[in-house]
Chain A
């Protein structure tokens, strides 16, 4: 795979080191977004409670989507023409939209779950912990 990537890179001549730097920054942002999305996926499976799963999903999803879209916007820039600037502007518009709407929808879902008597998991464990902590005091 590395040899293939190296060959593809050799076949395409890099026009200037500035563009190479911009594309490298974009790819780094995309890979960072993938790492955050890995955290979201692991949290969605491993966390025991709805609210903790929502914590993983809301934050990691927002940040990873913003990083990946911004990185792709940087990778797709190749010249300073008007179409290229318009494309970057549209992608930044999606980033701004997701930055506003994903926490909003997470908040609305959390509110709906709370008013639907969806209780956090730690309630019974909290009771057990209190009973255990009371017994040594009585003795």
Chain B
């Protein structure tokens, strides 16, 4: 019962990852790809726990899942810092001013 539940759940997770993989490959901007990588990385922690259930070594694979979730978070933060333009705090409002002008024009 438990093994079959794990197998069916892992297979359906892998099938549901295909649309997100499509978004990573065909994404219009780079941010879509980072977002898809973030989602798949979060789901990989779940899949690691499922693999641990199938191998009956859950106590080992749960540690892997903790490390993977941590690495995923650090990767997303680092990439968003890389794309973020380092502007001073007073000029932070400039893109919003541009945006409102574009809407009004």
Contacts and interface: CB of A to CB of B under 8 A. Distances in A.
Interface of A: 4-5, 8-9, 12, 23, 27, 30, 34, 37-38, 40-42, 44-45, 50, 53-54, 57, 61, 65, 68-69, 72, 75-76, 83, 86-87, 90-91, 93-94, 97-98, 101-102, 104-106, 108-109, 111-119, 123, 126-127
Interface string B62-99: 11011001100100110111011101000010010011
A50 B63 CA distance: 33
Given A53-B23, A53-B32, A109-B35, A91 B103 contact: no
B53 A115 contact: no
B103 A123 contact: yes
B16 A37 contact: yes
Contacts of A111: 80, 84
27 contacts: A30-B5, A34-B16, A41-B16, A41-B19, A41-B20, A44-B35, A44-B36, A45-B22, A69-B46, A72-B53, A76-B58, A90-B66, A94-B65, A97-B69, A98-B42, A98-B45, A98-B69, A102-B73, A105-B38, A108-B81, A109-B34, A111-B84, A114-B95, A116-B85, A118-B29, A119-B99, A126-B103
Contacts of A68: 9, 46
Contacts of A72: 6, 46, 49-50, 53
Contacts of A12: 1
A57 B35 contact: yes
Nearest to B86: A115
Given A9-B1, A69-B45, A115-B87, A101 B73 contact: yes
B51 to A, nearest CB: 11
A116 B95 CA distance: 8
Contacts of B39: 40, 44, 57, 61
A136 B4 CA distance: 63
Contacts of B46: 65, 68-69, 72
B59 A86 contact: yes
A90 B63 contact: yes
A127 B84 CA distance: 28
Nearest to B15: A41
Contacts of B50: 72
